[in-house]
Structure 1
């Protein structure tokens, strides 16, 4: 099993039909770590208020994280907007898992990163909650449709993974503008605190890139892209796209530092 210093995960959305918990279990089985940071939207209470889809694989994810915490790995949960109810418990430890509103993590090479979910930088989520809820339902529909597209591609013998949600993000100009505004706000927050960068989630767009001399890192999600960030023992950060060797093209100016994976999703 490859061992890394840290694993950063966000937007797992346990409790929803779209959650790819099976892929996450595979990833966790293949990666041991000293630290695991769960950066928001781990359990989707928003979706569960409408309907609950809790599969055995969702239990397996929770049990695996609890087991690794008991065995000495540091596991920290930073709640997001979909599991914001857990923000009332920041500073509490549940089953050896710490709950924190945010965190500053120092990598092995001495760089300091702000760990935060990122909904704080999203003006829609902060000030127009009903719009955010509507967008959440629309995204869920795209992800469900993508399951049928993937099934059809496999039947036609078309290899590789194609994301309908990712395609929509690339083609809709307002969505790309939102992503760039989000990134700029996140980096500004890190700069204001005298840090070297920020590691976040929220927008389901995995990347490692430099913005104005600081590192912007987004973990992506385990609904559509199945991505994670790992820190190696030399402090290097790597983006892992689990389950496919093909990555959807990022927006103009973005770059994926490293990619690896297993078989087709």
Structure 2
């Protein structure tokens, strides 16, 4: 059982055929936290308008979150662009899950974090309509390749591997867009007087310090299968969770050095 203070999750895309709901369900059932922040695109209404896809695992993820909320876990849902219809219900609760347009969180180390989905930063990145359309369609191709690549891997006994994330990490244009998004997020946090920001939206997990601001992107459950965790001591860890689990990054860096020394 993974015991922690806070869990941050975004971009689950329940209702989309590429959602890795089984991995997320396994993570949630093996985790215990005081708070869970759902930072947008948990349910993919856009995808369901094109094609209805709602297997049992997707329902179980929602039931698990509702159950945790009923058991006393603070669950806060900050809708994103794919579930923006829920923004109309800000300030209300559904089965003890609170809806908010954005949230704040102070870590056990006293670091004040701004929590958003991240689609509001799109205008700062200045992508044109054609660039957005092209990016969305290319990503759909990557997800198609990712889906079939992993089906073949499992036939030969291999574990899940994010082919989509691997390809994105080697495309200069994608890396440039990710960097622009990161800078926009850091600028927003700094302007608001925060010590850091936690967001999602671009499906690129990352935990770094830049310009004295903690930038945390908790990734997604479409291809990366990642979540951000705050430990009891206030340190932050970015976890990948599929057949095998491991940490991708740790803050503060000293915590990682101590872990290696042990």
Q: Structure 2 length as normaliser, TM-score?
A: 0.88
Q: CA RMSD in A?
A: 2.3
Q: Quickly say closer, same or farther: Cα 1:97–1:154, change in 2 above 3 A.
A: closer
Q: Structure 1 length as normaliser, TM-score?
A: 0.87
**What residue ranges of structure 1 are gaps of 5+ in the alignment?**
248-254, 260-265
Partner of 1:190: 189
Corresponding pairs, count:
251
**Aligned partners of 1:116 and 1:199 also within 8 Å:** yes
**Aligned partners of 2:8 and 2:227 also within 8 Å:** yes
Q: Deviations over 1:46-87 (max 9, x none)?
A: 111111110101110111111111111000000111111111
Query: Displacement of 1:143 after TM fit?
Result: 1.4
Deviates more, 1:190-199 or 1:129-138: 129-138
Matched residues in 2 for 1:124 and 1:212: separation?
Answer: 18
Whether 2:228 is the aligned partner of 1:235: answer no
Matched residues in 1 for 2:173 and 2:123: separation?
Answer: 14
Matched residues in 2 for 1:13 and 1:42: separation?
Answer: 5
Partner of 1:76: 76
Matched residues in 2 for 1:243 and 1:37: separation?
Answer: 20
Q: Quickly say closer, same or farther: Cα 1:208–1:191, change in 2 above 3 A.
A: same
Partner of 2:55: 55
Partner of 2:27: 27
Partner of 2:169: 170
Q: Of the candidates 247, 250, 262, which is equivalent to residue 257 of structure 1?
A: 250
Partner of 1:251: none
**What residue ranges of structure 2 are gaps of 5+ in the alignment?**
257-262
SS at 1:199 equivalent = strand
Matched residues in 2 for 1:133 and 1:165: separation?
Answer: 18
**Aligned partners of 1:207 and 1:257 also within 8 Å:** no
Partner of 2:11: 11
